[in-house]
A and B are shown apart, each in its own frame.
Chain A
């Protein structure tokens, strides 16, 4: 299994508070991703990173920011959490098989914003 961990695994917070989710990998892969999973929508890309300090927006980036200061860590921040950000958040890393680049996922973080 790819070495990907996420912390925390569960979090309950209140509207308006800042929240940071952490993704840590031990595979030394260049590419990392944050997705959110909601019923009826599958997984949707929030942000991704293609190297240290190199990040870009995904499909649903509003209200989220990311940072990557080290290859192994990719942080997702909700500056001021809203109830619409209640979701399950997955981090993923890209495998290095040329032209395939399958993604391996972390265990997920269940976030509830009250």
Chain B
């Protein structure tokens, strides 16, 4: 069965520094997709970044990058130059296969606090 694990319940980072949020996954599928979402204190879920299992390069979106290590089954989110507005909960999620049903399995989340 597929599973997502985020082992860091809470993280602190100094403003303008980089931070890595850990995510490991478990699946028997060869084809899958990995996602990161941000949930600020206001509660909405914001899509950040996607990595496909066959993508050879790590995904990047602005200050967000996904450090994809397929052999280790890890998909860590790297936020460069942290900003106060990055304080939020972050969820890693996985979709098995390329099916367009898009069902996602989520991790438990990591709360990030950016210190001024």
Q: Is the CB of A105 within 8 A of B52?
A: no
Chain A residues in 8 Å Cβ range of B37? 105
Mask: chain A, 79-114; 1 = CB below 8 Å from B; 0 = not: 000000000101010100011111111011000000
How many inter-chain residue pairs (CB < 8 Å) link A and B?
64
- CA gap between A66 and B103 in the complex, in Å: 16
Chain A residues in 8 Å Cβ range of B105? 45, 59
- CA gap between A85 and B35 in the complex, in Å: 27
Mask: chain A, 7-21; 1 = CB below 8 Å from B; 0 = not: 000000000000000
Chain A residues in 8 Å Cβ range of B43? 88, 107-108
**Is the CB of B104 closer than 8 A to any CB of chain A?**
yes
Mask: chain A, 43-76; 1 = CB below 8 Å from B; 0 = not: 1110010100000001100000000000000000
- CA gap between A101 and B93 in the complex, in Å: 12
Q: A88-B43, A90-B45, A108-B44 are in contact. Are A101 and B106 (CB under 8 A)?
A: no
Q: A42-B91, A42-B108 are in contact. Are A94 and B45 (CB under 8 A)?
A: no
Question: Number of residues in B with C-beta < 8 Å to the partner?
Answer: 24
- CA gap between A41 and B9 in the complex, in Å: 12
CB of B46, distance to nearest CB on chain A (Å): 8
- CA gap between A3 and B103 in the complex, in Å: 20
CB of A25, distance to nearest CB on chain B (Å): 14
A-B contact pairs, 24 of them (CB 8 A): A31-B102, A35-B106, A42-B91, A42-B109, A43-B45, A43-B104, A45-B103, A45-B104, A45-B105, A48-B101, A50-B101, A58-B103, A59-B105, A88-B43, A99-B33, A99-B98, A101-B95, A101-B101, A101-B102, A102-B35, A102-B47, A103-B47, A107-B43, A108-B45
Q: Which residues of B contact A (CB under 8 A)?
A: 4, 33, 35, 37, 43-45, 47, 50, 52, 91, 93, 95, 98, 100-109
